[in-house]
Homo-oligomer: A and B are copies of this chain.
Amino acid sequence: MPGGRPSGNRAIDERGFHAWLAAHLPAGRRGLLPLGDDAADLCPPPGRVAILTTDALVAGTHFRRGSPPRRIGAAATNVSFSDLAAKGAQPAGILLAVLVPPGTPAGWARALVQGAERAAARWDAHVIGGDTKPGPVPTVVGTAVGWAVPGHLAPRRGARPGDVLVTTGTVGRGGAAAEALRARGERPDVLARLLDVRPRVAAGRVLAPLAHAMIDTSDGLAEAARLLAHSSAVRLEVDERTLPLDPAVRRLPARRRRAAAFFGGDYELLAAVPPDRLPAARRAVGATRTRLTVVGRVARGRGAVLLNSAGARPMPPPGWDPFAAARPRGPTPG
């Protein structure tokens, strides 16, 4: 009902959700259109381009049905903001399409939106719109918008032979979380993406003007390297001995360490930086209190390889494929 204020326990309905969005969402947002209008507006700062990205999180694949909705909303926001970070963009807003089984308490979707709002607020961004529809399993599709400087977008395809490869943070945080789940007898392919994702927004903003190419490591460093190599039509050589492994990965048995390192779900940045800009990159990223490590180099050729004392080998495949993960459990995991 327009204007109705659904109680948290009442079943969700589309119009009630939209009315709640319109009435309860952030005081911080100062748009020209009120929330809950047909659409939301955002005013780009002068000379900036809009950067947009969309990501879906599905119950049973990316989170459990029982996961706290605030955490799901925060994850949807942070996962999308990680893609913005890889283009050096400043997050401005996020739209959330929430699919839920009929009868889901309205409070579930509201808590999800509030979790997203809290996550967005870390970067002065806001939930700027949303939709809800019935669907067989809870699903949230987040579409984030941010602003970036046109000349400094660090596309995937920009890596050049001679560049050095750098990564923020550590390698294998997602894999270590998956290993911990596995050790408890839980499915490692669920929930690993619902870590406390920390998008590298500040590091991305300072790296983008210095990098020839950049990508986030949402699917792990190996997959990111493969995509960067393919898009840029170059060869990427990652030196396994230099990887800043997550402490939890270092504690694993040696035979499980590599799979954990490249499992995915890290949400760090992998960038190709010309060598003469490396000192500036170190200074700028250091000023954001983010670790930056040289992990390899860009060469002529094709593909991504992993170097160690035994020589070069093809990059291992990613540890996690949502379609493969979803398949064995049939159509309604969760």
Within 8 A of B (CB), among A1-57: 2-3, 11-15, 19, 22, 32-34, 36-44, 49-57
Q: How far is the CA of A304 from the CA of B229 in the complex (A)?
A: 59
Q: Which of A80-88, A244-252, A305-313 contacts B (4 or more CB under 8 A)?
A: A80-88
Contact B44 A50 (CB under 8 A): yes
Query: Could you tell me the dominant secondary structure of chain A's interface residues?
Result: mixed
A157 within 8 A of B: yes
* B-contact bits for A194-230, CB 8 A (1 contact / 0 none): 0000000000000000000001100000010011001
Q: How far is the CA of A49 from the CA of B141 in the complex (A)?
A: 23
A75 within 8 A of B: no
Chain B residues lying within 8 Å of A13, measured Cβ to Cβ, are: 321, 323-324
Partner of A135, one of B2, B3, B137: B137
Chain B residues lying within 8 Å of A215, measured Cβ to Cβ, are: 38
Q: How far is the CA of A83 from the CA of B156 in the complex (A)?
A: 32
A143 within 8 A of B: yes
Within 8 A of B (CB), among A254-299: none
Nearest CB in chain B: distance from A194 CB, A: 14
Q: How far is the CA of A12 from the CA of B321 in the complex (A)?
A: 12
Q: Which of A's residues lie within 8 Å of B, judged by CB?
A: 2-3, 11-15, 19, 22, 32-34, 36-44, 49-58, 61-62, 83-84, 86-87, 89, 93, 95-97, 99, 101-103, 128-137, 139, 141, 143, 145, 148, 150, 153, 155-157, 215-216, 223, 226-227, 230-231, 321-327, 331-332
